[in-house]
Amino acid sequence: MIEQIQNRKLLPIPWLRIEVKMSPYLKFTQQQTDMSIKYDEFHKSFFSLMPFTGITRRHRILCRKRGCYRLITAAMTCGDAFGSQELYQDFHVNSELLVYPKLLPLTNIPFPSHSWMGDVTVRRWIMEDPFIISGVREYQYGDPLNRINWKASVRTGEVQVFQLDRTADPRIMILLNIDLNESMWDAVTDLELIERGISYSAAIAQYAIENGIPVGFGSNAYEMDNEKQPIYIEPQPGQGQLTYLLEVLARIIIARSCTFFTFLEDELERDSNPMDILLLTPFVGERMDEQIYKLRAKGHSVDIIMLEPEAKIEVAV
C-alpha cells in the first residue's frame, strides 16, 4: 500500500493523522512507530510536514485470506502544535484489492483418478465432434438416444447410431457445490471446506489454460455485488480467461444463491456441446445422481472430486 501526502502551503503542518478502515485479514509485515492498527480494523498513519514538502510511504501487506477488500474513505485530522485547533475531513478513496485463491499443487487435489488431468489433455486430440458425422455403426451400451439413426435402423433391422468424427476441441467445466448436504437449509457452516474447493478450482483452471484447454466455472454461490445470482462462466481459452476466473473466484461470497439441485437443473436445460464436467461437491445424493446420469446422457463426461473435511491429528501429551 502506498501513502502519498503533500503540503503545498507556506505554513508547516505540525501533525496530521490519516485513518483508513481495513480488514483484519490484511496485515502489515513491518510495524512502524508512527503507524498502528486500532482494534484490527483501522490503519492509522501520523505525519509532520514542512512547507512545500511531500512524504511517500510504502507498506508491505500480507494478505491472509482470499477475497475482495475495499478501501472506501480515508479520514484526515490535523492541528497546530499546541493542540488548540483540529480540522477533520473525509476523502473518498474507492480502491480495491483482489486476493486470489491459493494455487495448490495438482498432487494435493483428490482427482477421481491419478491421471485425470493427463487424460483430459490427451483427449483434446481424440474427442468426438457432434457436428461431424463420418457414418453409422451398431448401437453400443451408453450411446445417447439422440444419436440413433432411425432410417438406418429400419433398413438393417438393428439399432444403428451415427458415427461421429474426431476433433481437437475439449472443454472443461468446473462446477462447485457449496451445499454441505442435501437437506442444508441456509448458511454454510464449513467455510474452510468450500475455500479448499475454490483453491482446487483455481489450480485446475490454471493447469487447463496453460495446456491450451478452454475452461469455465459455475457455482451455486454468488459473486460480490451480484447477490442471489448463480455464477456461470462459459469455457474459453487464453490468459485473459484465467485472469477473469481468478478475479471471480476472489470475489466469491460463500453463501447460497440457489440449491445445487436447481443449479444443475438449469445446466441440463442449456443447449451446450459435450464438455468434461468436473464436479466439486461435499456430497452426492440420489437426486444429484439422477442429474449426473442425465448430463452424461446429453454427451457430457462427468467426474467428481469429493470435498471432505481434513482429518484432525490428535497428539497425546
- Give the domain CATH number at 233: 3.40.50
Calpha distance 285→258 (Å, rounded): 17
- 116 and 163 in a common domain: no
- 180 and 138 in a common domain: no
- Lowest-confidence region among 28-37, 63-72, 74-83, 147-156: 28-37
**β 86-99/67-79 pair status:** antiparallel
pLDDT at 126 over 50: no
Residue type, 303: D
- 200 and 141 in a common domain: no
Torsion of CA 244, 248, 250, 251, to 10 degrees: 140
- 135 and 182 in a common domain: no
Which of the pair, 154 or 132, is modelled with greater confidence?
154
- 241 and 174 in a common domain: yes
Q: What pLDDT is stored for residue 34 in this prediction?
A: 42
Q: What pLDDT is stored for residue 125 in this prediction?
A: 42
Confidence category of residue 28, pLDDT binned at 50, 70, 90: confident
- 210 and 145 in a common domain: no
Range of the domain at 159: 130-167
The answer to pTM > 0.85 is no
Segment 196-240, tens digit of pLDDT: 999 999 999 999 999 889 999 999 999 998 888 999 999 999 999
Q: What pLDDT is stored for residue 95 in this prediction?
A: 84
Count how many domains the chain has: 3
- Give the domain CATH number at 13: 2.60.40
311: in domain: no
- 113 and 240 in a common domain: yes
Residue type, 112: P
Average pLDDT of span 134-162: 80
Q: What pLDDT is stored for residue 123 in this prediction?
A: 52
Confidence category of residue 149, pLDDT binned at 50, 70, 90: confident
Which CA distances in Å does 130 have to 106, 162, 189, 233, 276?
Answer: 31, 9, 42, 22, 14
Calpha distance 88→26 (Å, rounded): 26
316: in domain: no
292: in domain: yes
- 110 and 212 in a common domain: yes
Size of the chain, expressed as the number of residues it contains: 317
Calpha distance 189→219 (Å, rounded): 17
